[in-house]
């Protein structure tokens, strides 16, 4: 049965197609919300997610820990705690953690995140 409460320590992290570690804090498949999802993404020091895009989903990223570089389309810029980034549908994007602590980001997806809406644009690099 869906629940309206999600407790952080009860949510098991998993790895998404782009290589980030995700905790789905609120998702329609589990919690009964309808139009969006909320997750925490973690990128470890020195790591980078694969360049990807979502065809239907708009994302909002809010940095809660660490620092890094945001790749958004043809633009690269530094991101820090407190920054919020809009990622329109269809926009290629990736994260690079340039700090010696985990980069943590709250991610709001509308419509809710789905693996089949994720297209990897850059293959894994050894």
Q: Is residue 10 included in any domain, yes or no?
A: no
User: DSSP states of the chain as a string?
Assistant: ---S---GGGSPPEE-TTS-EEEEEE-HHHH---S-EEEEEEE-TT-BPPPEEESS-EEEEEEEE-EEEEEETTEEEEEETT-EEEE-TT--EEEEE-SSS-EEEEEEEESPP-GGGEEE-S----
Q: State yes or no: pLDDT of 126 exceeds 70.
A: no
Position 7 in a domain: no
Q: What is the chain's length?
A: 126
Determine the structural domain holding residue 27 and report its residue range. Answer: 20-120
In a domain, 1, yes or no: no
Tens digit of pLDDT for each residue in 18-38?
Answer: 888 999 999 988 888 889 999
In a domain, 9, yes or no: no
CB 115 within 8 A of CB 80: no
Give pLDDT, residue 2: 59
Counting the structural domains of the chain, the total is: 1
pLDDT digits (tens, 9 = 90+) for 71-124: 999 999 999 999 999 999 999 999 999 999 999 999 999 999 988 999 999 765
Q: In what order do the strands lie in the sheet with 93-97?
A: 75-80, 67-72, 93-97, 52-54, 118-120
CATH of the domain at 114: 2.60.120.10
Residue 115 inside a domain? The answer is: yes
The arithmetic mean of pLDDT across residues 55-62, rounded, is 98
- Residue-level pLDDT at 30: 84
Residue 2 lies in a domain: no
Of residues 30 and 3, more confidently modeled: 30
4 in a domain, yes or no? no
Q: Let me know if residue 31 belongs to a domain.
A: yes
Is the pTM for the entire model greater than 0.85? yes
């Amino acid at each position: 049965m869906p629940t309206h409460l999600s407790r952080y320590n009860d949510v098991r992290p998993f790895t998404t197609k782009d290589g980030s570690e995700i905790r789905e804090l609120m998702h329609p498949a589990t919690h009964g919300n309808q139009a969006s999802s909320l997750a925490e993404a973690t990128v470890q020091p020195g790591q980078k997610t694969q360049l990807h895009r979502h065809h239907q989903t708009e994302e909002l990223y809010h940095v809660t820990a660490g620092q890094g570089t945001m790749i958004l389309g043809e633009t690269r810029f530094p991101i820090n705690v407190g920054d919020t980034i809009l990622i329109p549908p269809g926009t290629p994007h990736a994260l690079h953690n340039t700090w010696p602590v985990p980069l943590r980001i709250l991610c709001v997806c509308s419509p809710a995140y789905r693996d089949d809406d994720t297209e990897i644009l850059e293959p894994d690099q050894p």
